C-alpha cells in the first residue's frame, strides 16, 4: 500500500478519528445506561501496538486494520485489539466442549453485546460521515455475516437491534435497549 499522506497528517487524522469514534461510542453507551463501558471503550487503541499501525495505514475513509491486513497479510493491530476488548464477538471465540465441532462463538454478557452494537453504529457514522444512514450498520453487518463465528443468541440480538435501528431509528432503538433489553437483566 502506498500512502501519499505525510506522517504528521496521518498521525493527526488517526488520532482525530479514534477520538471521535470513542466519544460517539461513549455517547451511545450513555444513552443505554452503560456509563463505565462508555468511558473505558477502546482504550487499547492508544497503545503502541494499535496506534502505530493505525497511523501507518490511516486513510480516513476505512479502518487502517483492513489496509494493514492487505499490506502485511494480517493486522497485528486488530489481533491486539480484539484480544483486549470484550465488546468484539471475536474475543469470545473458543473451542466448545465438543472439540470435534471446531471453533464456536461463546455467549457474550449482554452489556458487551450492547457495547458492540454502539461500536458498530459509531463506526458507520465516523466512516460514512454526512452520508450516514441508520441502515448503514445493518448493511455492513450483512456484508460480513457469512464469515462470522458468533453465538446464535448474540447474533440474533445484534441483528434485531441493527434491523430496529434501520427501520425505527436511533431514539426508538436506544430507548428499547435501555428499557427492554438491559432493564430485564
pTM to 2 decimal places: 0.93
The predicted structure's pLDDT at residue 3? 65
The predicted structure's pLDDT at residue 79? 97
Domain boundaries, the chain: 7-181
pLDDT per 10-residue tile (average), the chain, 185 residues = 82 97 98 97 98 96 94 98 97 89 94 98 94 97 94 98 98 97 78
Q: How many helices (H) and strands (E) does the chain have?
A: 9, 2
* Contacts with 71 (C-beta within 8 Å, 6 or more apart), sequence order: 1, 57
3 state SS for 131-170: HCCCCHHHHHHHHHHHHCCCCHHHHHHHHHHHHHHHHHCH
Using CA atoms, how far apart are residues 83 and 71, in angstroms rounded to an integer? 21
The predicted structure's pLDDT at residue 185? 53
Cell triple for residue 107?
A: 455467549
The predicted structure's pLDDT at residue 2? 58
Using CA atoms, how far apart are residues 179 and 75, in angstroms rounded to an integer? 38
Strand partners, 105: 93
Strand partners, 104: 94
The predicted structure's pLDDT at residue 98? 82
| Burial class of 9 by CB neighbour count within 10 A (0 to 12, 13 to 18, 19+) | middle
Amino acid at each position: 500500500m502506498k500512502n501519499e499522506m505525510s506522517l504528521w497528517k496521518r498521525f493527526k487524522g488517526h488520532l482525530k478519528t479514534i477520538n471521535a469514534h470513542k466519544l460517539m461510542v461513549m455517547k451511545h453507551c450513555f444513552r443505554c445506561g452503560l456509563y463505565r463501558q462508555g468511558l473505558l471503550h477502546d482504550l487499547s487503541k492508544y497503545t503502541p501496538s494499535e496506534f502505530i499501525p493505525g497511523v501507518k495505514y490511516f486513510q480516513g475513509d476505512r479502518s487502517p486494520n483492513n489496509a494493514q491486513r492487505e499490506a502485511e497479510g494480517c493486522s497485528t493491530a486488530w489481533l491486539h485489539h480484539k484480544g483486549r476488548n470484550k465488546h468484539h464477538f471475536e474475543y469470545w471465540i473458543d473451542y466448545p466442549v465438543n472439540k470435534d465441532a471446531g471453533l464456536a462463538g461463546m455467549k457474550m454478557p449482554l452489556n458487551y453485546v450492547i457495547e458492540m452494537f454502539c461500536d458498530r453504529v459509531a463506526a458507520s457514522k465516523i466512516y460514512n460521515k454526512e452520508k450516514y444512514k441508520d441502515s448503514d450498520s445493518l448493511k455492513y453487518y450483512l456484508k460480513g455475516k457469512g464469515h462470522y463465528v458468533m453465538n446464535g443468541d448474540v447474533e440474533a440480538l445484534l441483528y434485531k437491534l441493527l434491523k430496529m435501528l434501520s427501520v425505527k431509528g436511533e431514539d426508538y432503538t436506544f430507548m428499547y435497549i435501555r428499557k427492554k433489553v438491559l432493564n430485564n437483566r
